[in-house]
Structure 1
Amino acid sequence: MSAEKKTASSLAQHYAPQIEGKVVLTTGVSPSTLGAVFVHAIAKSKPALLILAGRNMAKVQETAKALDAENVKTRTLELNLGSLTDVRAAAATVNGWADVPYIDVLVNNAGVMALDYGVSPEGHENHLAINHLGPFLFTNLIMDKVLASATPRVVMVSSDGHRLCPIRFDDVNFKEGKSYNRWQAYGQSKTANMLMAIALAETLGPKKLEAFSLTPGPGATPSHLVDHIDWSVQFEEMLKVDRFFGNWQGWLTEFPMCTPDEGVAVYVVGAFDEAIADTYNGAYLYDCRPANPWTETVKPWATSSVEAKRLWKLTETLVGQEFQY
């Protein structure tokens, strides 16, 4: 592809040979979300099956219905990532699909951003629960189906918002809300997404699994993820966290923007590009390529194998299940 701005729709055409015949499970696919933009883009390239997962089944069904015009086979899955009990039920459903013996690509796209303090049914801070614990458990519970693919791949949708916080290993729940900061909570969960990709690549790379994390963009991408945010208040709160860490973003007055089709282009690369697999397994992708830590926001706390292993062990404790590979 050229150096011009890339889009998901154009890249889906470019990677059509890799997309054709694939079974792809994507979480967070309500209409007008980035997940929906992604599945609509790849639908034109003849995947064998698009599995559409989300908490609100009416919205998931709406996306499925919209895909009918593409003449692509779809299946829907109710998946509430905020409840570990519900995650286990959804994974059991997938594992019970005898007519779907493998999943080629799992795109963990669903997430939340800058919520007021709250906890999951199991008592975990909501960003951590929905953005990390749920995807971690779901991914590992259906891993046998992923590994049954000839080209197994997991994509973790992270964010350059990982710059806002490392993993707070001794206080991941912000002292039951007493020390809570919505932007740090979001940043911690996005760091977790990057570390999970590293851990998957290192643990299951020998079994041919490819795993990547990514940030949509470049530039902020319009999404319903931020519909609840009062930017007249929260923009300055975010800048305060950036300034604390000395991030250049702390002195911005606005963020550069890109279209949803541009923002999701990197999803297509993460899910289907074959060239990045061997050399860059576990990498964090920016602007449709492995990010350059010298010129782009890539925090070392999100690229450390030590931190990845440590988080894996902590997460197993938090979800109450170990995964031996």
Structure 2
Amino acid sequence: MTIATSMPAPYNANTTTTELVTDYASLIKGKVILTTGVTLGSLGYAFVQSIAKANPACLILAGRNLTKLDQCGEDLKAENPGLNVITVKVDLGSLVSVRNAAEHINANTQIPAIDVLVNNAGIMAVDYALSADGIESHLATNHLGPFLFTNLIMGKILQSESPRIVMVSSDGHRLSPIRFDDYNFDNGKTYNKWVAYGQSKTANMLMALSLSSKLGTKYGLLAFSLHPGVIATNLGGHLDWSVDVGLQSIDRQQGHHEGWSEFKWKSLEHGAATHVYAAFDRALKAHNGAYLVDSHVADPLVDTLKSWAISSFEAERLWKMSEELVGQEFTY
């Protein structure tokens, strides 16, 4: 993985989706983009709404609620007459649902290739629960589901002339490395919702690293992870941000500077900008596997970037564990 140099980034925390779509319009035009977790008021919707203006060939929207997905699709087409939208139902917390969705996509002749996959869906700081497959819900929904989904549709992705995969992670990866020997928190006995979230976000970064390593040289696949920023979306709608939601106390216990800092809130247009940057920026080819913040490659001297989330050893170990948990090997 290539670490950022001291050269000033062309984009920053103030960059918007509008600016980037203007700059990347020719790169977006004619592309097929699949995005998970698209609901009104979400980062996923802000991303697809912005790129819809640049004439993509097709936007594939994937999520748990087909009614909400269809509404998003109708709204996008009303704003952009002639836009081609396909909706796919998938619950990333269920491996059965993931397999069914992947089979549906692979069988759809309207989708010969997928140019960009944005694994945007996720959950954050929820109470302890196990998925139907017996996996802690954050790890199941935020990592294992996307891991299986991505690999099952990889054939379509590699049909693209310039395949790219984006993993929406978080600077919350600082809260936990992968708990290889106890990812289920001793059946909930030692569970902390923020540590669980952190583990899943570390997994997102390691997956991007693995994809870039396994498929970059041989197939030209680019893969990136990103932190969109702190944004008021339905992802954290169940939390009372006016008090300590438990995040600050963990940061202080672990010695992170965030424990003594105020949240720097972003709008959806600023937050989804890094999605657009990760999905289309040409210069990123030189930084395959990188973690992105504020529409630039993260700088470990400035940005939150933990070593356990950029370790090739940890990435390979997670890949093997993930194959075991989904019951299927993916060798490239």
| TM norm structure 1 | 0.96
Counterpart residue number, 1:179: 190
1:23 corresponds to 2:39: no
The question of whether the paired residues in 1 share the 8 Å contact of 2:170 and 2:226 is answered with yes
Per-residue deviation, 1:240: 1.9
Q: Deviations for 1:171-214, whole angstroms, at most 9, x for unmatched residues?
A: 01111101100000000000000000000000000210000000
1:288 corresponds to 2:295: yes
Counterpart residue number, 2:278: 270
Where does the alignment leave 5 or more consecutive residues of structure 2 unmatched?
A: 1-9
State how 1:1-325 maps to structure 2 within 5 Å. Answer: 5-68=14-77, 69-71=79-81, 72-206=83-217, 207-217=219-229, 220-231=230-241, 235-252=244-261, 254-277=262-285, 279-325=286-332
Describe the shift of the 1:236–1:2 C-alpha distance in structure 2 as closer, same or farther (beyond 3 A).
Answer: closer
Q: Deviations for 1:15-35, whole angstroms, at most 9, x for unmatched residues?
A: 001000000000001111000
Distance 2:193 2:13 in 1: 35
Describe the shift of the 1:3–1:35 C-alpha distance in structure 2 as closer, same or farther (beyond 3 A).
Answer: closer
Per-residue deviation, 1:228: 1.1
Describe the shift of the 1:249–1:52 C-alpha distance in structure 2 as closer, same or farther (beyond 3 A).
Answer: same
Q: Secondary structure at 2:250's aligned position in 1?
A: helix
Q: Secondary structure at 1:211's aligned position in 2?
A: strand
Describe the shift of the 1:32–1:236 C-alpha distance in structure 2 as closer, same or farther (beyond 3 A).
Answer: closer
Distance 1:256 1:139 in 2: 32
| TM norm structure 2 | 0.94
Per-residue deviation, 1:222: 1.6
Count of residue pairs brought into register by the alignment? 320
Q: Secondary structure at 1:25's aligned position in 2?
A: strand
Per chain length, whose mean CA-contact separation is higher, i.e. which structure has more relative contact order (CA < 8 Å, sep 6+)?
2
Distance 1:166 1:250 in 2: 18
Q: Deviations for 1:74-110, whole angstroms, at most 9, x for unmatched residues?
A: 0000010010000000000000012211000000000
Aligned-residue Cα RMSD (Å) equals 1.2
The residue type paired with residue 146 of structure 2 is P
The residue type paired with residue 223 of structure 1 is T
Per-residue deviation, 1:295: 1.1
Distance 2:113 2:12 in 1: 35
The residue type paired with residue 22 of structure 1 is K
Distance 1:175 1:3 in 2: 41
- Give 4+ residue runs of structure 1 displaced > 6 Å after superposition: none
Distance 1:232 1:37 in 2: 25
Per-residue deviation, 1:236: 4.8
Where does the alignment leave 5 or more consecutive residues of structure 1 unmatched?
A: none
The question of whether the paired residues in 1 share the 8 Å contact of 2:37 and 2:120 is answered with yes
Q: Secondary structure at 2:184's aligned position in 1?
A: coil
The question of whether the paired residues in 1 share the 8 Å contact of 2:11 and 2:294 is answered with no
